[in-house]
Structure 1
Amino acid sequence: MTTLPDLSGFGIAFDLDGTLVETAPDIIGTLNTILAEYDVPPFPYEAARSLVGRGARSLIQRGFAAANVPLSEEAELPMVGRFLDLYRERIDQESHAFAGLEGALDQLRAAGARLAVCTNKPTALSELLLTKLGLIERFGSVRGADSVPLKKPDRGHLKACAVDLGLPLDKMLLIGDSETDYLTAQNAGVPCVLVSFGYCDTPMEAMSPAALIDHFDELPTAIASILR
């Protein structure tokens, strides 16, 4: 086990979908339920996985486009509402924390770090998912896209997490899985750790995070190297 430096006075913010939690099965399952209601063929899981972080509307649009079925803007709006209702019902049916996550979070907290969730998922859904998975008590802030004037990659989203934790922005780190997370950290002037197992459709080599990890067991070592 990595010996961490004293992390008192530091905040570590995590993206949610594809970073903390494998949510793709429930999100794509919800999408395919919607598509079936409109007699549209299901969107293949592997094709949809990298798009999960882009929100319900984008997923619905891609699902219809993949099947070459026209979709009007007027038809989209009720589908998004229906998607959110269905997803809320099955939010933890197949979703689960990534391997090693809970141990890494506990190790960071034991070293004095304050933890936050900085996600473009709606706040209520984020809190519901974290509660159902028994994770929410580990976080001092959960900020969804609807809780800030401008969402990630705007630096203000991460700053809101810092304010909640009682910390300055320059004492934050961001852990994520996508170009949006990387750009958020860049815009905020803070280090970014990316995970390789999430929902990124941008090649990792196109970015230069402070660290890239393949498993949460590697996170304490990565953070220790950044903050030493």
Structure 2
Amino acid sequence: MADPVLVFDLDGTLIHSAPEIHGVARDVLAQEGLPELSYELITSFVGNGLPTLVSRILVQLGLPGTGEQHHRMVEHFESIYQQRFDLTSLYPGVMSMLHDLSGRHRLAICTNKPQAPTRAVLAHFGLTDFFSVVIGGDTLPRRKPDPLPLHQAIRDSGGGDAIFVGDSEVDADTARNAQIPFALFTGGYRKTAVEDLGAKWIFDHHDEFRP
């Protein structure tokens, strides 16, 4: 029997991008003449995709979470985000983990980050060749926690057994909805207790994850 497909979330799982997201949000808000929001608050909005992030920012500021301003800010955010990596970093052990796992597993990405910045950040960190399949938040009509993107990533990888690796409540819900075993990286952006996320594997450092 073939080894399972390993499908990875990106932000909070392979890359620590919250400082970058906060920095871009600060610039987008400044251009709109809106006040800056804290790092902690912006980080709490991460996980459900860029349109939802921007919507939550606007609602937090007492503004409509949809409409022309929302659309403009999403476009501006994405245009900056796919070119800026100064504050983004790989979590320790990610590169060695991917080298080890790629020898016997098919690897894929399933993220709510839009496709363009996803591919840009993978290329920036030299990760592109590890992943034959990349599903972004705008690749399909629905995004996580809907199971469609995860199922698509598995199908495009050749099908068979799979494990979804993530860091958050959204990822845990996605795995549950897709009826796929879940592996939890504890160092990401979750707010829920580890034991409440139903993970089959739990790891604090990427050197520890070898399913």
Structure 2 length normalisation: TM-score?
0.90
Give the partner amino acid of 1:194: L
Rate the CA distance shift 1:213–1:40 in 2: closer, same or farther, 3 A.
same
Alignment partners' CA distance in 2, 1:57 and 1:217? 33
**C-alpha RMSD over aligned residues:** 2.0
* Matched residue, 2:70: 76
Rate the CA distance shift 1:57–1:150 in 2: closer, same or farther, 3 A.
closer
Alignment partners' CA distance in 2, 1:70 and 1:185? 33
* Matched residue, 2:23: 29
Rate the CA distance shift 1:162–1:57 in 2: closer, same or farther, 3 A.
closer
* Matched residue, 1:53: 47
SS at match of 2:7: strand
Question: 1:8 deviation in Å?
Answer: 3.9
- Are 1:155 and 2:147 counterparts? yes
Unaligned runs of 5+ residues in structure 1 are 1-6, 224-228
Instruction: Point out the more displaced range, 69-78 or 182-191.
Output: 69-78
When Rg is computed on C-alpha atoms for both structures, the one with the higher figure is: 1
Question: 1:147 deviation in Å?
Answer: 2.1
Question: 1:64 deviation in Å?
Answer: 4.1
Give the partner amino acid of 2:188: G
Question: 1:58 deviation in Å?
Answer: 3.2
Conservation of the 8 A alpha-carbon contact between 2:13 and 2:188? yes
- Are 1:207 and 2:197 counterparts? yes
Residue 10 of structure 2, aligned match among 16, 39, 49: 16
Unaligned runs of 5+ residues in structure 2 are none
Conservation of the 8 A alpha-carbon contact between 2:145 and 2:170? yes
**Structure 1 segment 1-228 matched on structure 2, within 5 A:** 8-66=2-60, 68-71=61-64, 73-90=67-84, 92-110=85-103, 112-168=104-160, 171-220=161-210, 223=211
Deviations 1:19-50 (A, max 9, x none): 11111121111100111223322211122223
Rate the CA distance shift 1:36–1:204 in 2: closer, same or farther, 3 A.
same
Alignment partners' CA distance in 2, 1:183 and 1:70? 29
Question: Which is helix-richer, 1 or 2?
Answer: 1
Q: Percent identity of the aligned residues?
A: 35
Rate the CA distance shift 1:56–1:152 in 2: closer, same or farther, 3 A.
closer
SS at match of 2:164: strand
Alignment partners' CA distance in 2, 1:60 and 1:149? 19
Alignment partners' CA distance in 1, 2:135 and 2:22? 23
Question: 1:86 deviation in Å?
Answer: 1.7
Alignment partners' CA distance in 1, 2:179 and 2:209? 20
Question: 1:69 deviation in Å?
Answer: 4.7
Question: 1:219 deviation in Å?
Answer: 0.7
Deviations 1:60-87 (A, max 9, x none): 3443444x45347332211111111121
SS at match of 2:82: helix
Corresponding residue pairs, total: 210
Conservation of the 8 A alpha-carbon contact between 2:185 and 2:205? yes
